[in-house]
Structure 1
């Protein structure tokens, strides 16, 4: 009897063990399938976005107006950021793709910074067009390699998990044709760093040098930088944050962070200075849907965001919409004077109102305690210097830099002349005309008065 009971219990145990092993194996298969699907999705999305980069760069070269160029350059930035993220999701640790990664990173930063530049005041130069042409040719080579890689994967059913196993086992997959295409791609862009990036790059180097001098405060560690990023982006402390030090090409020391965004399954990219732990810029790479948020609502969200980050006395001075993104420029206000040198640009997604971009270099470089003098001439005396046919719509005091880099207090006037909107700065000390700008019709500033 006891023997029969023991045999029965043993049988039950064997069945339970077999069932558990079956369940365990099933779970492993599910996880493996999910991992392979994620790799395949990242790879094919990467191929699609590298295609888009070439197409969009080609379209940009054919454009001739700021109205078209700015959103086109912004689209190159967006797609390039997505390609960066997708490349980072693939198991490519065994091969050198540093040149490709650097190419995408710099292309992303170049197109972003050019897209937020006022191309009416600073249009693309011949050198910059030549550089875009070279970048376009390089993007063709990248596209060709990724297409060949994609064809290889589809034709032969290559599995990324198998490639990852080779890498994990420390086997050199030298005969792996998929990885060899990535190596060829990397070599094809090695020469891109020899490009002359033109006045924009020279100006950026100068700005970076100024930023290095302006940064202050104690040095922060990588862990401290992660905490700053989490607070700045309002993310949980357990968000996945990948951090590295910026390359030697950057004048100032900074950390570059990639932060997983659990709400959108995409990444934020961010630079934080080592000196002082100041967030310099960040951007979120994701597809932005249809417009559900007005530009006015976006302005309020951006203003609230700056207040939450302890930027007080900031006033909206410029508001633009590019597709589904609102680009908003704020300047510091002191004693009712707009300090145009101390500016921050914020981008808001118009599908859900998320903050998806931020740039604060000008603010970090220029913000300081300053004594702003009282005007030597009256507002009416300054207004008398204007074209009498100009219909003045809005008046302010503003601090700007003149042609030789000196800060000058001005009366700032927005007005209409022949159905065109102009912004004119009259020196508040001597009545001289310091700056005249024609504003695009859609950006008449009296509509955005704060």
Structure 2
């Protein structure tokens, strides 16, 4: 009797295990099919967007009126953005594909910055038309390669899951048509000549780190560890690990990790040239807040002063749960220099600094020649909407849409229950930008 019961229990157990295994297999297959469908959709959307992008670039070349050109350039920007989003959904993160992404971003930046300006005052210049023509030819070449790959995917039933698997097998040579196709596209884009455009040059000049402007000599990993210890106010380098970042970074740098015995880690990036910390974060748990925003600001200002950042003005504070982030800009004379921002995160339980981002300040801060405004503050006020009640004003250096530094009057005002920062060009009264401030 006992043996029969044991046998029945064993049979039932086998049935249950078999059913569970079958169900797990079915669920896994469903997930794989869903992922494959998502990859296929993103790829075919990419092909469609590249086709449309090439069409819109060709249309921009043929347009002869400024009224038609603006909307066409806006479409180019929108489609290039969509193509970038499509690429981001494909499993290509294990292969270098930054040149193609950069190419699409350049198209978007160029078209957007050209579209938003006044075409009557600044029509398309000969050099910009040549840039459009070059982008059209290059986009056409990429589109043909993508279409050929799309044909192969459809006719040969190529699977993206196989491409993803091929990319993970870096220890051995793999043969995958999708991977090979995208590598060919990336190589072709790498061979394209640099796009010549004052608009793009200005944007890249600003967005790219100016490592040549950074002071100091290259530091070794050992020196970087000592500098990290000093930055963290540690007496030694115990627990600090330094690793050199690869060539894909915007500037030569080290990644630094401080490992605590309790398993908590702190992280930072440091330039190899000069050993300057560009950002730092400590993701520790922050307990209930014991400090208010004013006390937290005092902690941030004291820490920045000790680290050698003088003459700063706090322009924004935001509280997130039990911590606060403070944004500062330097002042030159009576002018707030917005391009050189830095931010500090303070834990409001004990006032410890748990975050810092000084990259903009490090790469761009310098003594500038700032001219005198042609407009008085009172004259500049007349360019602000009369629906806005102005509460405060300052002189401020800001960047316009193409990365040029512009001297402005900054007006902080309210309308209904919202607060805004409004920047009026101090020389011609143009409204350079408007920012809506968050309510705490």
Query: How far does residue 420 in structure 1 lie from its aligned partner after superposition?
Result: 1.4
Alpha-carbon distance in structure 1 between the residues aligned to 2:83 and 2:299? 38
Alpha-carbon distance in structure 2 between the residues aligned to 1:385 and 1:266? 52
Q: Where does residue 325 of structure 1 map in the other structure?
A: 323
Query: How far does residue 391 in structure 1 lie from its aligned partner after superposition?
Result: 0.9
Secondary structure at the residue paired with 1:372?
A: coil
Change (3 A) 1:358 1:421: same
Alpha-carbon distance in structure 2 between the residues aligned to 1:368 and 1:415? 30
Secondary structure at the residue paired with 2:396?
A: strand
Q: Where does residue 432 of structure 1 map in the other structure?
A: 430
Are 1:370 and 2:331 counterparts? no
Alpha-carbon distance in structure 1 between the residues aligned to 2:430 and 2:409? 10
Superposed, which structure 2 residues align to 1:173-252 within 5 Å? 187=168, 209-252=208-251
Query: How far does residue 329 in structure 1 lie from its aligned partner after superposition?
Result: 0.7
Alpha-carbon distance in structure 2 between the residues aligned to 1:388 and 1:223? 59
Secondary structure at the residue paired with 1:297?
A: helix
Change (3 A) 1:385 1:208: closer
Q: Where does residue 169 of structure 1 map in the other structure?
A: none
Alpha-carbon distance in structure 2 between the residues aligned to 1:427 and 1:229? 41
Change (3 A) 1:427 1:356: same
Q: Where does residue 351 of structure 1 map in the other structure?
A: 349
1:289 to 280, 283, 287: 287
Q: Which runs of 5+ in 2 are unaligned?
A: 1-80, 95-164, 172-178, 187-201
Change (3 A) 1:336 1:424: same
How big is each residue's C-alpha offset from its partner over 1:410-441, in whole Å with a ceiling of 9 and x where there is no partner?
A: 11000011221111011111222111122223
Q: Do the aligned partners of 2:225 and 2:237 also contact (CA within 8 Å) in 1? A: no
Change (3 A) 1:188 1:391: farther
Alpha-carbon distance in structure 1 between the residues aligned to 2:428 and 2:420? 21
- In angstroms, what is the RMSD of aligned CA positions? 3.5
Superposed, which structure 2 residues align to 1:83-122 within 5 Å? none
Q: Where does residue 415 of structure 2 map in the other structure?
A: 417
1:276 to 253, 274, 277: 274
Change (3 A) 1:403 1:234: same
Secondary structure at the residue paired with 1:326?
A: strand
Superposed, which structure 2 residues align to 1:20-169 within 5 Å? none
Alpha-carbon distance in structure 2 between the residues aligned to 1:417 and 1:304? 35
Secondary structure at the residue paired with 2:274?
A: coil
Query: How far does residue 265 in structure 1 lie from its aligned partner after superposition?
Result: 5.1
Q: Where does residue 31 of structure 1 map in the other structure?
A: none
Query: How far does residue 189 in structure 1 lie from its aligned partner after superposition?
Result: 12
Change (3 A) 1:204 1:309: farther
Change (3 A) 1:261 1:234: farther
Secondary structure at the residue paired with 1:412?
A: strand
Q: Do the aligned partners of 1:208 and 1:251 also contact (CA within 8 Å) in 2? A: no
Q: So what's the TM-score if we normalise by structure 2?
A: 0.54
Q: So what's the TM-score if we normalise by structure 1?
A: 0.53
Report the count of equivalent residues.
266
Query: How far does residue 127 in structure 1 lie from its aligned partner after superposition?
Result: 7.1
Alpha-carbon distance in structure 2 between the residues aligned to 1:321 and 1:258? 26
Alpha-carbon distance in structure 2 between the residues aligned to 1:409 and 1:209? 22
